[in-house]
């Protein structure tokens, strides 16, 4: 930080950014791992690229570098329990997630969350250093969405839903 910037102000300002909530996963040698991620963004149309920013304290950036692929599920309203599960510490890469969190696979074999508002399968395009995070850029190999669902929203450390109108 600096004399003019406190960590509280930094976090408060960034928490003012209302975002969707995604689950980013990969699969490597029969082991799965995934975390809750809000730092998702579209990046490019030609080529078709998206990005997420992943803390280097997590297993995920290293696993994605090795597996060369990952999946993104954009959560629907009502999937807070899924977000909370994947935001919990201490889940080592394991043969499967908790049975209460069902998953499915599509093109890359990485776990996707059923009932998500959108699912995106990616091959790793580039992994770039970004401070204490890794900026993981994916080339989208498949994307599908459910126009009938509403998104889960995260704002000021609380889960919200869209107020239509």
Ligand X SMILES: Cc1cc2nc3c(=O)[nH]c(=O)nc-3n(C[C@H](O)[C@H](O)[C@H](O)COP(=O)(O)O)c2cc1C
Q: How far is the CB of 142 from ligand X (least distance, A)?
A: 22
Of residues 53 and 107, the one with the C-beta less far from ligand X = 53
Of residues 3 and 7, the one with the C-beta less far from ligand X = 7
Of residues 53 and 105, the one with the C-beta less far from ligand X = 53
User: What is the DSSP track for 86-147?
Assistant: HT-S----BSS--TTS--B--SS---B-TT-SEEEEEEEEEEEEETTEEEEEEEEEEEEE-T
Q: How far is the CB of 75 from ligand X (least distance, A)?
A: 9
Residues that bind ligand X (CB under 6 A): 21, 35-39, 53-55, 57-58, 83, 86-87, 89, 154
User: Which residue from 74, 75, 88, 73 is spatially nearest to 26, judged by alpha carbons?
Assistant: 73
Residue 17: count of CB within 10 angstroms of its CB: 11
Q: How far is the CB of 23 from ligand X (least distance, A)?
A: 9
């Amino acid at each position: 930080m600096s004399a003019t910037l406190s960590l509280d102000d930094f976090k408060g300002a960034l928490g003012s950014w209302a975002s969707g909530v995604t689950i980013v996963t990969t699969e490597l040698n029969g082991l799965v791992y995934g975390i809750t991620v809000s730092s998702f963004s579209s990046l490019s149309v030609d080529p078709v690229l998206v990005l997420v920013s992943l803390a280097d304290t997590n297993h995920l950036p290293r696993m994605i570098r090795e597996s060369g692929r990952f999946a993104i599920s954009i959560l629907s309203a009502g999937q807070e329990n899924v977000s909370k599960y994947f935001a919990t510490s201490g889940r080592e890469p394991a043969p499967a997630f908790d049975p209460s969190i069902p998953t499915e696979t599509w093109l890359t074999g990485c776990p996707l969350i059923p009932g998500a508002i959108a699912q995106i399968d990616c091959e790793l395009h580039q992994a770039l250093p970004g401070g204490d995070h890794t900026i993981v850029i994916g080339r989208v190999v498949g994307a599908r969405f459910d126009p009938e669902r509403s998104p889960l929203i995260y704002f000021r450390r609380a889960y919200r839903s869209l107020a239509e109108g």
